[in-house]
Amino acid sequence: MLPQHVDHLVIGAGFAGIGAAIKLAEDGEHDVLVVEKGPDVGGTWRDNTYPGAACDVPSQLYSFSFAPNSDWSMSFSPQPEIQAYLQRVARDSGVLDRFVFDTTVEEARWDDGQQRWRVTTDRGVVLARTLISGAGGLSEPKLPDIDGIAGFQGELFHSARWDHDVDLAGKRVAVIGTGASAIQIVPELARTVAHLDVYQRTAPYVIPRNDRRYTRLERALFARFPALQKLYRTAIYWGRETYVPGFTLEPRLALPAKLLARHNLHRAVSDPELRARLTPTFEIGCKRILISNDYYPALAEDHVDLVTDRITKVTGDAVVTADGTERPVDVLVVATGFHTTDQPIAHHVIGRDGRSLAETWAEGGMAAYKGTTVHGFPNYFQIVGPNTGLGHSSMVFVIESQLAYLRDALRTMRTHRYATVEPRLDEQERWNADLQRRMQRTVWNTGGCSSWYLDEHGRNTVLWPRTTVDLRRRLARFDPPAYELSAARNDRVPA
C-alpha cells in the first residue's frame, strides 16, 4: 500500500534517488517516498548488464563522497560492483524502507489549489509537497529507425536490455553503434561468437584505458586511512578537470588526448584501410572520448568486420547496406543510445498551467534554472536536469551538488514557512541565455559532429559548459531572490 501523502516524493532509485533519500534523512526529512519502476535500486547500473559493462570514470570518483568504498577491485569498476555498492549504500544508510519498487509513475500533476503534486502510479495516488525527479538521463533505450528491423526473425535486443538467455557462442552477431556501450561490448563478443559485424556510422576517438587491479595493500590502506583515499579521489577529480578548457574554450588544448587516441589506433591496427575508416573526422571531445585497450584489437581480428557502409534495411535474417551487401546475422545487438533530449519522464510531469515538461520544452528545448528547477513547475527539483551533464567527469559529483541545492531550498522553505518555490521566468531565461552563449564556443557545438548532447534544434541542452567547481559553487546555496515564493494557503494536508 502506498501512503496517501508524503512530504517528498522521489522518482527513481539510482544514484540520484538513493542520494536524495539519504541526504533528506540527514536533515530530519523522513516523510519521503522513493518510487522506482524496476525491481531494485541501481538505475542505469541495474539495467546495463551487457558483457563488459564497466564505468569509464574511475571508481574512486564515481561514488558518493559520503560513502567511500575501499573495496573497489579495479580502477574502473565493473557494473556488478557498482550495483552491489548502490545496494549496500542504500541498505546501510537505513533508508530502504522508504523505497517502493515495481511501481511506475504514470503522471505527476501539480494541483495549485492544494499546493501539492498529485502523483498517479500504477499502484495508487500519492500527494506530495515536493517532487524530486531522479529518473536519469540515460534510462530509456533509443531503438534505431531502420527499414524492416521490426521484421527481423533472429534475436534482437538493446545494449541496456541485454537478453542473457541468448547463447551467443558460435553465432553470427551484429552490433549497431560504436558509442561508449558498444566499445565495451564488442571485445567481449569477439571472444565468443563465430562472426561479428560492427556497424559504425561515426568513428569515435578511443584512448587507452589505464585500468588496473587495486592491490590488497592499497585496499587495506584505503580502509585504514580514509583521508588517503580522499586525497586519491581529489587527485583524480583535478586530473579530470583538466579536460574542461579543451572542451569549453580552445579545442587545441585537447591535442594531447588527440595524439593519444591516434597512437592507440596505430598501435592496434596495422591495416591502413581499416585504420582510415577508424579515424575520426571531427574535433576530439565533440562526442564522448571513449576509453578501451581491447576495442581496436578486437576489430583487427579475422572474424570481426567493421562495416562503414550505411545500413539501408534489415531483412528477416540479414543486415543490408547501401552498397547492396547482405550480411546474414543470428543476433542483432542495438547499442544505439538513449532518449536524452526527449526524456520520457518529461511527458508525465504536468505543471501549474496544465502543460507537461515535454510540451513546455517542445519549442525551445529542455531548460531549467540552475539545471534543477523549472518555471511553471512549483516545488519540482530535477536531479541531472538540463545542462548538468558532463563529458569528462563523474555525474555523482553533479548529483551531490544538486542535492546540496535541494536541501538548502527545503531548509529555506521550512525556516520561512514557504509552501511553494518556483524559479522566476526572467531568472530562468537569463540563466539559459548565458549558458547557450557560453555553449557557442564549446567543442560540442563547433567540433563538427552530431551527438546526443544536441537536440533537434541543434541546441546543447545536456552538458554543463564550465568547470564542475563552478557548478558546485553556483548550487551551494538556494537563492530566494530568483524565486517566486508563496506562503501556505492552508496548513492542513488535504486528504
| Residues near ligand NAP (CB under 6 A) | 54-57, 138, 144, 146, 159, 176-182, 199, 201-202, 288, 311, 335-338, 452
Minimum CB separation from ligand NAP for residue 218, in Å? Answer: 22
Chain centroid, CA 189 distance in Å? 24
Nearer residue to ligand NAP within complex by CB, 23 or 392: 392
Q: What is the dihedral of CA 377, 381, 386, 387, to 10 degrees?
A: 140
Please name the residues in contact with 196: beta carbons below 8 A apart, sequence gap of 6 or more.
173, 174, 175, 186, 189, 190, 298, 303, 304, 305
3-state secondary structure the chain: CCCCEEEEEEECCCHHHHHHHHHHHHCCCCCEEEECCCCCCCCHHHHCCCCCCECCCCCCCCCCCCCCCCCCCECCCEHHHHHHHHHHHHHHCCCHHHEECCCCEEEEEEECCCCEEEEEECCEEEEEEEEEECCCCCCCECCCCCCCHHHCCCEEEEHHHCCCCCCCCCCEEEEECCCHHHHHHHHHHHHHCCEEEEECCCCCCEECCCCCECCHHHHHHHHHCHHHHHHHHHHHHHHHHCCHHHHHCCHHHHHHHHHHHHHHHHHHCCCHHHHHHCCCCCCCCCCCCEECCCHHHHHCCCCEEEECCCEEEECCCEEEECCCCEEECCEEEECCCECCCCCHHHHCEECCCCCEHHHHHCCCCCCCECCCEECCECCEEECCCCCCECCCCCHHHHHHHHHHHHHHHHHHHHHHCEEEEEECHHHHHHHHHHHHHHHCCCHHHHCCCCCCCECCCCCECCECCCCHHHHHHHCCCCCHHHEEEEECCCCCCCC
Q: Which residue is nearest to ligand NAP (CB)?
A: 179
Nearer residue to ligand NAP within complex by CB, 148 or 480: 148
Minimum CB separation from ligand NAP for residue 50, in Å? Answer: 9
Hey, which residues does 105 pair with through a beta bridge?
Answer: 121
**Cell digits of residue 122:** 500504477
Minimum CB separation from ligand NAP for residue 237, in Å? Answer: 16
Nearer residue to ligand NAP within complex by CB, 132 or 335: 335
Minimum CB separation from ligand NAP for residue 336, in Å? Answer: 4
Nearer residue to ligand NAP within complex by CB, 178 or 428: 178
Minimum CB separation from ligand NAP for residue 360, in Å? Answer: 25
Nearer residue to ligand NAP within complex by CB, 113 or 324: 324
Nearer residue to ligand NAP within complex by CB, 271 or 309: 309
Nearer residue to ligand NAP within complex by CB, 35 or 395: 395
Q: At 97, give phi and psi (nearest 5°).
A: -70, -10
Nearer residue to ligand NAP within complex by CB, 110 or 152: 152
**Nearest in space to 465 (alpha carbons), one of 451, 482, 449, 445:** 445
Minimum CB separation from ligand NAP for residue 23, in Å? Answer: 23
CA dist 64 and 81 (Å) reads 14
Minimum CB separation from ligand NAP for residue 241, in Å? Answer: 17
Do residues 355 and 417 touch, judged by C-beta distance below 8 A? no
Minimum CB separation from ligand NAP for residue 215, in Å? Answer: 23
Q: How many CB atoms lie within 10 A of CB 205?
A: 24
Nearer residue to ligand NAP within complex by CB, 15 or 380: 15
Nearer residue to ligand NAP within complex by CB, 201 or 438: 201
Minimum CB separation from ligand NAP for residue 70, in Å? Answer: 21
Nearer residue to ligand NAP within complex by CB, 144 or 148: 144
Minimum CB separation from ligand NAP for residue 239, in Å? Answer: 17
Nearer residue to ligand NAP within complex by CB, 123 or 288: 288
Minimum CB separation from ligand NAP for residue 33, in Å? Answer: 28
Minimum CB separation from ligand NAP for residue 344, in Å? Answer: 16
Nearer residue to ligand NAP within complex by CB, 349 or 449: 449
**Cell digits of residue 416:** 520561512
Minimum CB separation from ligand NAP for residue 291, in Å? Answer: 8
